[in-house]
Amino acid sequence: MGKVVAFTNPKGGVGKSTLAVHLAVKLKERGESVVLVDADVQSSSSTWLLDVEPEVSPVRLHTPDEMLEQIPALREEFSYVVIDGPAGLSEVTRAALFVADIAFLPCGPSALDLRAANDAIRVVRQAQTIRKGPPIAVLIPNKLQTRYRLSRELLETGRSLGIPVASGLRLLQAYADAAGQGTVVWRMGQEGTTAAREIEDLLEELLRYEPAEIIEPSVANG
């Protein structure tokens, strides 16, 4: 049975589609069977993905019913189901958290942005309570303007939110250009080198997260 990973955050423009497309392409290059679920009505990631990797057919699912009904079948068929969530705290965002094993929450680069991710984390916690465990959640600081390492402040904020913080991505023109050129940063030659190194490390890191075990009610009750 495949893993379902969702990039979600009701906040727009934080890097959900950028990360989802790069992850889907990386998995395909590694020979994994992967499908990208484009849950955004604007369908930007499916259009982008078709330019980069036509062999990975995106699936567009735009209602909670479609998500809840079709993702279980997709996870039987593929090793990885990568969901690109929509902006806005819609029912589709909630549905993604009901089917995902892992929720990656890209967010802005400051401690303030991280704190504002509270809404996103709150919805994750609701899903975790109802599902008695999953999805595990990881914050991904994006568009960092500081040096390579995350600031202590960011890490402490993450810790206070009770959620792991991934190493993140810097604000680099190459990410924006990749979408415009219908490619991924590691296929951009010299122009993409710095971004390629960084996002490949990040994707490695993200793939090391294992889905949480579902705690059966009988076990949870002792």
Ligand X SMILES: Nc1ncnc2c1ncn2[C@@H]1O[C@H](COP(=O)(O)OP(=O)(O)OP(=O)(O)O)[C@@H](O)[C@H]1O
β-bridge mates for residue 6, sequence order: 83, 103
User: Least distance in Å: CB of 18 to Mg ion?
Assistant: 8
Nearer to ligand X, 43 or 63 (CB): 43
β-bridge mates for residue 84, sequence order: 7, 38
Residue 83 touches which of ligand X, Mg ion, none (Cβ within 5-8 Å per kind): none
What does each C-alpha distance from 221 to 127, 143, 211 come to in angstroms? 19, 43, 21
User: Least distance in Å: CB of 136 to ligand X?
Assistant: 20
User: Least distance in Å: CB of 12 to ligand X?
Assistant: 4
Q: Which residues contact 209 (CB under 8 A, 6 or more apart)?
A: 102, 136, 138
Nearer to Mg ion, 11 or 16 (CB): 16
Whether the CB-CB separation of 99 and 68 falls below 8 Å is answered with yes
Nearer to ligand X, 176 or 215 (CB): 176
Binding mask 8-27 for Mg ion (x = CB under 5 A): --------xx----------
Residue 8 touches which of Mg ion, ligand X, none (Cβ within 5-8 Å per kind): none
Nearer to ligand X, 84 or 101 (CB): 84
Sign of CA dihedral 1, 207, 134, 14: negative
Nearer to ligand X, 89 or 212 (CB): 89
User: Least distance in Å: CB of 50 to ligand X?
Assistant: 16
User: Least distance in Å: CB of 12 to Mg ion?
Assistant: 8
Nearer to ligand X, 66 or 177 (CB): 177
**Where do we find the tokens 């971004």?**
195
User: Least distance in Å: CB of 48 to Mg ion?
Assistant: 10
Chain residue whose CB lies nearest Mg ion: 17
Return d(Cα 152, Cα 141) in angstroms, integer: 13
What does each C-alpha distance from 93 to 9, 41, 52, 84 come to in angstroms? 8, 12, 26, 10
Return d(Cα 124, Cα 104) in angstroms, integer: 10
Edge-to-edge strands, sheet with 136-141: 59-60, 34-38, 80-84, 3-7, 102-107, 136-141
Tell me which residues touch ligand X (CB under 6 A). Answer: 12-18, 40, 87, 142-143, 169, 171-172, 175-176, 179
> Contact residues for Mg ion (CB under 5 A)?
16-17
